[in-house]
Amino acid sequence: MNSTNKPMAASHSGSRLLKAVLFLLIFSLGFIMGMISMATFPNFYGPPLLLSPMLLSSLAPSSTAMLTTPSPSTETPSPTPSASPPPTERPAAPMGLTAFLAPSGVMHTMTDEELLWRASMAPKVSHTPYSFVPKVAFLFLVRNQLPLRPLWEKFFAGHKHELYSIYVHSYPPFAASLPTDSVFYGSMIPSQKTSWGDANLVEAERRLLANALLDLSNERFALLSESCIPIYDFPTVYAHLTGSNDSFVDCFDNAGARVRYRPDVFARHNITQAQWRKGSQWFEMDRALAVEVVSDEAYFPAFRDCRRCVIDEHYIPTLVNTLGWRRNANRTLTYMEWPPRSPHPRVHGAVDVTEELFRKMRSGAANCTYNGAASNICFVFARKFSPDALGPLLDLAPKVMGFG
Ligand SMILES: *[C@@H]1O[C@H](CO)[C@@H](O)[C@H](O)[C@H]1NC(C)=O
Ligand SMILES: *[C@@H]1O[C@H](CO)[C@@H](O)[C@H](O)[C@H]1NC(C)=O
Ligand SMILES: *[C@@H]1O[C@H](CO)[C@@H](O)[C@H](O)[C@H]1NC(C)=O
Ligand SMILES: *[C@@H]1O[C@H](CO)[C@@H](O)[C@H](O)[C@H]1NC(C)=O
């Protein structure tokens, strides 16, 4: 009657009694286990103990992969009050949607490979079964410190955290230098060394995108550097980004760019010279395109292995083009000035910060369109600004941008 037991000799009555006791013991154990698992996993139909810790950590970053304290018990309570006696070990928190939708911090223990894989996942069900406010993810790719941080602090001040998230890729001294009351506090993601013109710069961009994708409320993703400034107030920037049907990835084809195409490297990866594109590195994109960038396995290896290809100005534009991505404005939202024949954009110092400069930066030199109609906003960010521009920027901000 109990097939899992070892076969026993049935010759005398003592062994029959033992069998009965054992059966009762196993039956009641099974009953108690069943009660506990019903109370702990009310919506879970699979065997929870079969999930490996590795899978758990990539699926629920807030519960196992955080370096901060484990998720507090603010989870949605289980619908049935627990009737079973308190177990001796702390039970796993009931699995809800909350922890899956947004990690409680930016720290995690995933490798890049694990992170990109996790971030590449996108829901297939088109209807979202919960309501949420779209967030803008500000991705700061910072070489060292953020000298213009006081301006950004004022830009974000007073606006709801539900509307934005901040991710910083930098060196550890950056995180250590932040005061606890800064909006940047706790925003530094696990980072790696970067160097100008190197593939590791694009790896850092993909790392920033992937970290931001873990929060399912992030709908728009803007790449910024330590020399970038906002040129409108937060509500204007937020409305311009979340209201756009297009991504803003600079993407164009010209003879100057085509000379960087290396047939020996790219033809092997099925990237033709006709597909090759150039564009400013400073992108702003929607979630669908961000998922494409982190999950690209076909083209990134070709670019990573190509030295002197100026990967930061060619990889994403070429990827966007090979994907045939239509929802793109094909221009950047980050204003820059290129002095004639200079390989570097102009750096604006303290003396350059004027109202006139703001007028010029906002409308640009071209007639810009937005969702198919003419728009007087061409740019919402600008670079490059040197640290000494901070004072004049803070002085001018209330007048030209309405904050500070
Ligand atoms: C390039 O395209 C050809 C033909 O479609 C295909 O057989 C090959 O696997 C592709 N190579 C790469 C590296 O994607
Ligand atoms: C950007 O370029 C793509 C590909 O050429 C095109 O489909 C799209 O319509 C362009 N976007 C705008 C706003 O012109
Ligand atoms: C912008 O549009 C105006 C009016 O249509 C036109 O006169 C002007 O030349 C355009 N400027 C550029 C840079 O295309
Ligand atoms: C934006 O996209 C939505 C959904 O695809 C579409 O209905 C709407 O017409 C688009 N708006 C513009 C201005 O292109």
Q: Average pLDDT of each block of 10 consecutive residues along the chain (404 residues)?
A: 40 53 54 44 31 40 38 44 59 82 90 96 94 97 95 98 97 92 96 89 96 97 98 98 98 81 83 90 98 96 84 93 96 94 93 96 86 94 98 97 94
Find the 385 Cα to ligand 3 centroid distance in Å: 28
For the CA of 372, the closest atom of ligand 2 is: 13
**Cα gap 136→62, rounded to integer Å:** 21
Tell how far the Cα of 237 is from the centroid of ligand 4, in angstroms: 19
Residue 244 belongs to a domain: yes
What is the rounded distance in angstroms from the CA atom of residue 55 to the CA atom of residue 158?
38
List the strands of the sheet with 164-169, edge to edge: 164-169, 135-141, 218-225, 284-286
Half-sphere exposure of 271 (CA within 13 A, CB side): 28
Q: What are the φ/ψ torsions at residue 219 (nearest 5 degrees)?
A: -110, -25
Which atom of ligand 2 is nearest to 326's Cα? 7
Residue 194 lies in a domain: yes
Atom 5 of ligand 1, nearest CA residue? 270
Which residues have C-beta atoms less than 6 Å from ligand 1?
A: 269-270, 298
**CA 175–ligand 3 middle distance (angstroms):** 46
305 located within any domain? yes
- Domain limits for position 218: 102-121+131-228+235-332
Does residue 82 lie in a domain region?
no
**Ligand 3 pocket member 367 (CB < 6 A):** yes
Q: Three-state DSSP class for 53?
A: helix
Residue pair 70/107 in contact (Cβ under 8 Å)? The answer is: no
**Maximum distance among all alpha carbons in the chain?**
104
In this structure, which ligand is nearest to the CA of 366?
A: 3
Is 91 a domain residue?
Answer: no
In a domain, 150, yes or no: yes
- pTM for this model (two decimals): 0.79
Nearest CA to ligand 1 atom 8: 270
Contact 96, 75 (CB under 8 A): yes
Does a structural domain hold residue 379?
A: no
Q: Whose C-alpha lies nearest to ligand 2, atom 12?
A: 329
Q: Which atom of ligand 1 is nearest to the CA of 268?
A: 13
* Cα–Cα distance, 212 to 97 (Å, whole number): 18
Q: Is the CB of 43 under 6 A from ligand 4?
A: no
Residue 190 confidence (pLDDT): 94
Ligand 2 centroid to residue 324 C-alpha, Å: 9
Closest listed ligand to the CA of 331: 2
Answer yes or no: is the C-beta of 326 below 6 A from any ligand 2 atom: yes
Ligand number nearest to the C-alpha of 376: 3
Query: What is the predicted pLDDT for the residue at 172?
Result: 87
Query: Is position 360 within any domain?
Result: no
CA atoms within 13 A on the CB side of 311: 25
Buried b (16+ CB within 10 A) or exposed e, 238-275: bebbeebebbbbbbebeeebeebbbeeebeeeebeeeb
Report the separation in Å between the CA atom of 230 and the middle of ligand 3, taken as the mean of its atom positions: 26
- Residue the block writes with tokens 């820059």: 336
- Binding site membership of 371 for ligand 4 (Cβ less than 6 Å): yes
Domain count, the chain: 1
Please state the atom number of ligand 2 nearest to the C-alpha of residue 330.
1
The answer to whether 399 and 357 are in contact (CB under 8 A) is: no
For ligand 1, atom 7, the nearest C-alpha belongs to 270
Measured from the CA of 373, which atom of ligand 4 is nearest? Answer: 13
